[in-house]
Amino acid sequence: MRKFDYLSKMILSAAAFLAITATVALAKYPDRPITMIVAYSAGGGTDIAARTLAPYIEKYIGTSITVINKAGAGGQIGFTELAHSKPDGYTIGFINTPNVLTIPIQRKTKYSLKDLAPVANVVYDPGAFSMLATSKIKTLKDLIAFAKENPGAVTYGTTGIGSDDHLAALQFERQNGIVMTHIPYKGNNKVRAALLGGHIMMASMNISQSIDDFKDGKITIFGQMSEKRWSGAPQIPTFKEQGFNIIMGSDRGIGAPAGIDPKIVLTISDAVAKAIADPEFQEKAKKQSLPLTYMSAKEFTEHLEKSEKNFQKIWDETPWAKK
């Protein structure tokens, strides 16, 4: 009996020790640098957002953050690496819609949404159509009229098959009975260069990536694909205002590998919220034309799950790539 009591006490003591150790370890998070994966190349919209935001997350979370680029396959390489990283809070990364959701829908991948833990959304960047300011096409109605008279003549560039830019153009074609010619590029910088160089007629890009050229008088932006006008482009009407029911854009948020401790998720999410609200960051975001839209981990998760169902429905009805 005494031996049994002794063993019981030893087991209980060990369990208590482990619980205390785990609590202390968690209380110390973070106690070393964090790596932030960006699934796109340096200099792009996501990379700029990540490198602008990282120092402010550092300020509120209490450790350094190293941003690394893992570009390729429309984001698949970076998303996969994030999903397969250790879920200890020391590897996080930007996850972008629709790519993080549409890639596993259109082809076999080694990750899916269930392998990721959404932490916080940072940016919602509405889609937009633009042409050179010298073009005779000035409005969406002009675009439709021209495309109907000249099927396939409108060449438009995007950041790739299945991107928000591509899906937006497909929706516009289907809603208006027109046919345009898609030319995918590896990154918005290349789409912009192709438009300004006259190699394509139209760019389908996020509005933050077009607004500076619009302000410089180089291009005309026909509309933004959001419920309401972004404060950084109040003079540009939405597609809905013009009678076209298209809401499409790119969320750029932060995720972690699935299985991460919820308390760590909350710690990171709170630091992101404080970073976004920081007046100094707000000023930098304004200069860089970042359309900030914060969502908590819960809100971001619900948003992504809903979006995934919508994209799956679109794919089932009208696939955007060959099956």
Q: Is 196 exposed, middle or buried (0-12, 13-18, 19+ CB in 10 A)?
A: middle
Tokens representing 288 are: 């860089």
- For the four alpha carbons of 224, 227, 230 and 235, in that order, the dihedral sign comes to positive
pLDDT at 6 over 90: no
Rounded to the nearest 10 degrees, how much is the dihedral formed by the CA atoms of 226, 227, 232, 235? 100
Comparison of pLDDT for 44 and 244, the residue scoring more: 244
Tokens representing 177 are: 């009975």
Query: Per-residue confidence at 245, pLDDT binned at 50, 70, 90?
Result: very high
Tokens representing 207 are: 């509005």
Query: Per-residue confidence at 41, pLDDT binned at 50, 70, 90?
Result: confident
Residue 163, CA distances (Å) to 15, 65, 156 in order: 50, 28, 13
What's the rounded mean pLDDT across residues 223-244?
A: 95
Query: Per-residue confidence at 9, pLDDT binned at 50, 70, 90?
Result: low
What's the rounded mean pLDDT across residues 87-92?
A: 98
Which residue is it, tokens 């499409």? 248
pLDDT of residue 27: 59
pTM of the model: 0.80
Query: Per-residue confidence at 188, pLDDT binned at 50, 70, 90?
Result: confident
- How far apart CA 270 and CA 292 sit, in angstroms, is 16
| Residue (of 76, 117, 113, 112) closest to 255 by Cα position | 117
